């Protein structure tokens, strides 16, 4: 099957209110390695991810997938946000909703949704109202909603930032399963341990610019740029 | 009393069917003149019933554009007038509620590929409990107004006389105890409808979160 990857960003800039949140970023993402967007709050991780996913339109530059049909591009990627948005319906119906919007025929939806819930360990809660679940469980439902779509690329925007360590471990297990199933994982985080556990390569952002790109094995022991070195040491130059 | 309820509930029903999609479309849509339309819709919530009554009277009167249907001084005319009064209230409150929800849901829905009409319908269904309040506001307006129904209905005994027009009549005849009693009955009915709606909404909300 012809994939939507690689994804190319060419001199992408995103400016809002006279301030460039993303400043002339060029990069290429290929299938395979898990990519971690690393950087301090306000470095532009979330904005860059939304530009890639198509939720934001660049002020300048281009975002190009290896596929021209926008419907097909949208359909083959998914995103999980920091705060899961659950519709006021059952857990199962939340997962089925994503399939319905993606035009999966009705007979297949239920089975796909149940399979996805089983893969995140929530099959037993399928008929509970989604909003009554805990934060960690809701985030797993969001992952199941993405899983059911079998995306080629999964964007994750600090998916565990507001969760406790136990829930974080469960989420990380699911993310690893996505990776093992061949989905390209692109995750924003400022949690260094998580970046090490889940990532293959790091894109380090500082003040809207892509400062460094390196394999995880190399980035953490020997960051090349002064900004990344300071971030890894936990010394924030502006603090 | 039965006529009062029939007329007002019918008006709220029609206004709901038209007002919810209208409000949701304005909330989610982006088109020129949207802001002006929102201001207009909000302003129409304060439409004076007598003015609406007068306009509908002119439309339905024998010489008016819709005169041939012979609707003036019938309950249908009263439903039309009240629908026009209730529609802006339901549409404007729905617009605000959907817009607030859209801020919260937009990224997730767009990420899944739900935009436009589909997104609007999803939002309306998801905030259905909040929209109950909009319907109750509309119902309150319909049950309470007298200006529109007295003009287009004519307050004909047994045909178009409703609670509010009866109260107005008894008051001008000087039968204050009867007017007052009717007033209390009307308030009791509205209270009962609101209590029922609240209980249903509360139970559903507790169940679905």
pLDDT one digit per residue (tens) for chain B, 209 residues: 688 899 999 999 999 999 999 999 999 888 899 999 999 999 999 999 999 999 999 999 988 889 888 899 999 999 999 999 999 999 999 999 999 999 999 999 999 998 888 898 999 999 998 899 999 999 999 999 999 999 999 999 989 999 999 999 999 999 999 999 999 999 999 999 999 999 988 888 887 76
Suggest the residue from A56, A87, A113, A143 to mutate for an interface test with chain B (most B CBs closer than 10 A): A87
Residue B192 burial (CB count, 10 A): 10
Model pLDDT for residues B66-75, shown as the tens digit of each residue: 988 889 999 9
CA separation for the pair A79, B58 (Å, rounded):
56
Contact between B167 and B182 under an 8 Å Cβ cutoff? The reply is: yes
What pLDDT is attached to residue A239?
42
Which residues in A have their CB inside 8 Å of a CB on B?
A: 50, 53, 55, 71, 74-75, 78-79, 81, 85, 87-89, 97-98, 101-102, 129-132, 145
- pLDDT value of position B148: 94
DSSP state string for B37-102: HHHHHHHHTT--HHHHHHHHHHHHSTTSTTGGG--TTSHHHHHHHHHHHHHHHHHHHHHHHHHHHH
Which residues of chain A, if any, have pLDDT below 70?
A: 1-2, 235-239
Residue B200 domain-assigned (yes or no): no
Both tokens assigned to B52: 């609406």
Residue B112 lies in a domain: yes
How many Cα atoms sit within 13 Å of B38 on the Cβ side? 18
Q: Is residue B50 in a domain?
A: yes
CB contact under 8 A, A129 and B112: no
Tell me whether residues B111 and A78 touch, CB distance under 8 A.
Answer: yes
Chain B positions in Cβ-Cβ contact with residue A132 (cut-off 8 Å): 209
Give the three-class secondary structure for A129.
strand
CATH number of the domain bearing residue B94: 1.10.3720.10
How many A-B residue pairs are in contact by the CB < 8 A criterion? 47
Classify B142 as helix, strand or coil: helix
State residue A162's pLDDT score.
86
Residue A237: per-residue pLDDT:
53
How high is the pLDDT of residue A236?
A: 54
Q: Is residue B152 part of a domain?
A: yes
> Are the Cβ atoms of A131 and B209 closer than 8 angstroms?
yes
Strand order in the sheet with A60-64: A19-29, A7-16, A60-64
- Tell me the shortest Cα–Cα distance from A132 to chain B, in angstroms: 6
Do the beta carbons of residue A74 and residue A149 sit within 8 Å?
no
Nearest Cα residue in chain B from A134: B209
Q: How far apart are CA B186 and CA B100, in angstroms?
A: 34
Q: Is residue B143 part of a domain?
A: yes
Q: Is residue B208 part of a domain?
A: no
Residue B178 lies in a domain: no
Sequence-ordered strand ranges (E) for A30-151: 35-38, 60-64, 77-80
Task: Tell me whether residue B55 is in a domain.
Answer: yes
Question: What pLDDT is attached to residue A48?
Answer: 95
B128 has a chain A CB within 8 A of its CB: yes
Q: Provide the number of structural domains found in chain B.
A: 1
pLDDT tens digits, one per residue of B11-34: 999 999 999 999 999 998 888 999
Within its chain, how far is the Cα of B110 from the centroid? 32
Provide the domain limits for residue B29. Answer: 2-160
């Amino acid at each position: 099957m012809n994939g939507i990857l690689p994804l190319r960003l060419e001199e992408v800039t995103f400016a809002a209110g006279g301030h460039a949140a993303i400043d002339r970023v060029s990069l290429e993402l290929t299938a395979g390695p898990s990519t971690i967007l690393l950087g301090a709050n306000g470095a532009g991780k979330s904005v860059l991810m939304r530009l890639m996913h198509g939720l934001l339109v660049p002020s300048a530059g281009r975002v190009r997938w290896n596929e021209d049909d926008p419907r097909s591009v949208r359909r083959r990627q998914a995103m999980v946000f920091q705060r899961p948005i659950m519709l006021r319906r059952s857990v199962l119906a939340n997962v089925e909703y994503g399939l319905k919007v993606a035009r999966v025929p009705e007979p297949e939806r239920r089975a796909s949704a149940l399979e996805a819930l089983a893969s995140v360990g929530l099959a037993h809660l399928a008929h509970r109202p989604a909003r009554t679940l805990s934060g960690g469980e809701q985030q797993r439902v969001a992952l199941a909603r993405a899983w059911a779509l079998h995306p080629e690329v999964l964007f994750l925007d600090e998916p565990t930032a507001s969760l406790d360590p136990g829930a974080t471990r469960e989420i990380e297990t699911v993310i690893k399963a996505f990776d093992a199933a061949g989905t390209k994982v692109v995750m924003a985080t400022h949690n260094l341990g998580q970046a090490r556990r889940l990532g293959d390569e790091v894109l380090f952002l500082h003040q809207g610019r892509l400062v460094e790109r390196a394999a995880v094995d190399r980035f953490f022991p020997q960051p090349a740029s002064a900004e990344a070195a300071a971030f890894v040491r936990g010394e924030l130059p502006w603090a | 009393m039965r006529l009062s309820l029939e007329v007002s509930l019918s008006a709220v029903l029609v206004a709901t069917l038209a007002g919810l999609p209208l409000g949701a479309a304005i909330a989610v849509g982006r088109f020129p003149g949207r802001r002006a339309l929102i201001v207009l819709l909000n302003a129409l919530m304060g439409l004076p019933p007598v003015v609406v009554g007068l306009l509908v009277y002119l439309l339905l009167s024998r010489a008016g554009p819709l005169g041939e249907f012979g609707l003036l001084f019938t309950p249908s005319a009263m439903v039309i007038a009240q629908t026009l009064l209730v529609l802006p209230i339901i549409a404007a409150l729905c617009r605000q509620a959907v817009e607030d929800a859209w801020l919260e849901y937009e990224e997730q829905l767009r990420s899944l590929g739900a935009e436009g009409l589909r997104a609007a319908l999803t939002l309306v269904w998801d905030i259905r409990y909040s929209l109950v309040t909009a319907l109750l506001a509309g119902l309150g307006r319909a049950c309470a107004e007298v200006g529109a129904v007295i003009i287009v209905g004519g307050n004909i005994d047994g045909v178009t006389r409703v609670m509010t027009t009866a109260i107005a009549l008894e008051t001008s005849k000087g039968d204050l105890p009867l007017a007052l009693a009717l007033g209390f009955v009307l308030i009791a009915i509205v209270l009962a409808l609101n209590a029922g709606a609240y209980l249903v909404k509360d139970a559903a909300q507790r169940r679905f979160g």
